Structure 1
Amino acid sequence: MKKQWIGAILLLFATIIWGVAFVAQTAASDSIGSFTFNAARSLIAAVLLSAIVAGKEKISEKRLIAVGKAYEKSARRKYLKKSLFSGVFCGLALFAAVNFQQFGIEKYPEGVSASGRAGFLTATYVVIVAAYSAIRHKKLHPVTLISCVGCLGGMYLLCMHGGVSKIYFGDVLELLGALSFAVQILIVDKYSDLDGVALSCAQFWATAVISAVCAAIFETVRLSDLISAWLPVVYAGVMSSCVGYTFQILGQKSVRPAVASMIMSLESVFAALAGWMILGEKLSGVELLGCALVFVSVILSQLSSAGEASRKEKGEQNINADKNSEGKEEK
């Protein structure tokens, strides 16, 4: 249960970082293309995480030797290799997600609330992950289902300022982005037993390489444009990518995918708050109500998940106690 709360806190911190990064992404979009931006931010994250992985291994080796334990180099290398290989699959999904999202925003016509529609449609990955979990496990906790509905309702109030009067090509791209984010969340969950930092490292190398190739083919890359957008690129690379996505991978080790996706959907709430604090954007009463509804839905889902984990833990303890008492009686 303690691990579950730590995981939830890591996911919450990641979500706050991503929310603020929305301001950085908006600023960078005025200077550089989507592929260029995602290649640069991912490269920064990949280089930093590579250094962390290398340093982490040296520290682990020294600690084991200091306490007189054997450092199984071949076994550790095999474990890291598996983590890095699996991270490539995460990277493919992340590449699709971040670029679909950015291109979707660019494709909206003038006069349309691009960020609002994109925010709401991206948040539909909450439903996609919950639906997958329900199909796979043949059940979905009622509180989780209610939280999903509340979360989507809150996202609608927060993001869809002008309502839905027409479907745009950008909407289709945003839904593809939401599907890609859902796939990335589920892949991370599948490999939650592997080295989280190494997984994140490989994820960003894959995203950086593919985005760089696409930028070279489809965009005009100028060093002067990158320099003019250095601050949002560095923030997105260090905080949003390196720190945020690593927190996501580590947090998901102890949090169910359906609950994790709801916590991460708070990104739009923090993006709205960051826009208000940094850019001076105003939040209406309806938008504030949407923020509150999403927040309450996430808290409700987390409390339900924690209670379920606590009951499961107590049940296992009772079973173990019964087994021990039976063993004593036989003696």
Structure 2
Amino acid sequence: MQAKTIKSDLLLLLIAAIWGGGFVAQRKGLDFLGPFSYNGIRFALGSLSLLPLVYLNRRRQAPYHGSLPPANSRALLHGGLMAGGALFMGASLQQVGIAYTTAGNAGFITGLYVVLVPLLGMFWGQRPGTGTWLGAVLAAAGLFFLSVTDRFTIGIGDLLELIGAVFWAGHVLLIGWLSPRLDPFKLSALQFAVCSILSLITAFIFESMTLASVCAAWRPILYGGLISVGFAYTMQVVAQRDAHPAHTAVILSAEGVFAAIWGWFFLGEVLGARGLLGCVLMLAGILCSELCNLVIQLRSSAKTA
């Protein structure tokens, strides 16, 4: 069992590294394509890459559940539309924002969704604990040092990433509500398809896309679509079968750290002392919020056991 846990933790670390590298791919993709064109193609690939899993999962469940009832099909369609719409907003703001900020900044600011999820949960009657509030304070302080200038202004790219983090948090809450009710692979494939369609429609209106530009961007497109979306999502499902929830939260929060590392290695992005302090505070806030919430959940489970 210990060996399985170690394997899962290593796999989660690989996923965090892949997702961190996704911010570099998104920056490189902008060299050839507009933000909506890039998102439209990569989420289409992500959706297509999940179709084999949808098919295999359907075959495995067919002997036990038969065909999907019409009511469930409607619920899946409505859920996919809602989740895809939220995903479209978060991904669009992230992709547009990354054109005006660094991959490291985008990674850390996007990671704030971990703190924002329990705070937004207040609208659904959830009460954030002390750890959540402490994490929010640390994350806000980190955001100040990372993004706010000496003149108390914030760059447009960081601002868009921050607004995007709110939509990512809403998307997490929505998926948390939908996933126990719907097939996770079908829901993921459908939401990626919806996000792709909305992105391509927007690209058709506001951007120009040519076959030559798509071919030139094949590396960041393949990374963002097949590796970051399709492969990493599938591996996350596999890894969390044996991973401890606390390990999952801590390891995946390293996504922002990897974004900064890959941004430095591949794009030559360098954080100053102020930016590094901001990143440390934001990471501390994210970990504090997530770990405190997990401790509360574990205590609650122990009491009901």
Query: Would you say same fold, with TM above 0.5?
Result: yes
Change (3 A) 1:119 1:300: closer
1:146 maps onto 2:147 in alignment: no
Counterparts of 2:274 and 2:160 in 1: how far apart (Å)? 26
Shift of 1:267: 3.5
Does the aligned pair in 2 maintain the 1:126–1:148 contact within 8 Å?
Answer: no
1:269-299 CA distance string (max 9 Å, x none) = 3211111233343344444444443444344
1:97 maps onto 2:90 in alignment: yes
Q: Secondary structure at the match of 1:74?
A: coil
Counterparts of 2:214 and 2:261 in 1: how far apart (Å)? 27
1:31-77 CA distance string (max 9 Å, x none) = 1111110111011011111222012222444xxxxxxxx52213578
State the partner residue of 2:298.
310
Counterparts of 2:66 and 2:293 in 1: how far apart (Å)? 38
State the partner residue of 1:328.
none
State the partner residue of 1:16.
17
Give the stretch that moved more between structures: 193-202 or 9-18: 9-18
Q: Secondary structure at the match of 1:30?
A: coil
TM-score, normalization by structure 1: 0.73
Does the aligned pair in 2 maintain the 1:189–1:252 contact within 8 Å?
Answer: no
Shift of 1:30: 1.1
The 5 A counterparts of 1:259-270 are 266-270=254-258
Shift of 1:235: 0.3
Does the aligned pair in 1 maintain the 2:102–2:269 contact within 8 Å?
Answer: no
1:271 maps onto 2:259 in alignment: yes
Counterparts of 1:49 and 1:133 in 2: how far apart (Å)? 29
Change (3 A) 1:131 1:97: same
Counterparts of 2:144 and 2:261 in 1: how far apart (Å)? 16
1:195 maps onto 2:183 in alignment: yes
Does the aligned pair in 2 maintain the 1:266–1:294 contact within 8 Å?
Answer: no
Counterparts of 1:14 and 1:163 in 2: how far apart (Å)? 36
Change (3 A) 1:198 1:9: farther
Q: Counterpart of 1:201 in structure 2: which amino acid?
A: A
Q: Counterpart of 2:57 in structure 1: which amino acid?
A: K
Change (3 A) 1:234 1:24: same
State the partner residue of 1:182.
169
1:93-142 CA distance string (max 9 Å, x none) = 11122112222344x5xxxx566765665455455433222343352110
Counterparts of 1:75 and 1:103 in 2: how far apart (Å)? 38
The 5 A counterparts of 1:84-233 are 84-106=77-99, 108=100, 113=101, 122-126=110-114, 128-137=116-125, 139-157=127-145, 159-160=146-147, 162-163=149-150, 165-166=152-153, 173-193=160-180, 194-233=182-221
Gaps of 5+ in 1: 1-5, 62-69, 318-331
Does the aligned pair in 2 maintain the 1:123–1:155 contact within 8 Å?
Answer: no
Counterparts of 2:12 and 2:172 in 1: how far apart (Å)? 12
Change (3 A) 1:185 1:233: same
The 5 A counterparts of 1:46-61 are 46-61=47-62
Change (3 A) 1:54 1:163: farther
TM-score, normalization by structure 2: 0.79
Give the stretch that moved more between structures: 94-103 or 166-175: 166-175
- How many residue pairs get aligned? The number is 297
Counterparts of 1:249 and 1:83 in 2: how far apart (Å)? 19
Give the stretch that moved more between structures: 210-219 or 97-106: 97-106
Percent identity, aligned pairs only? 33
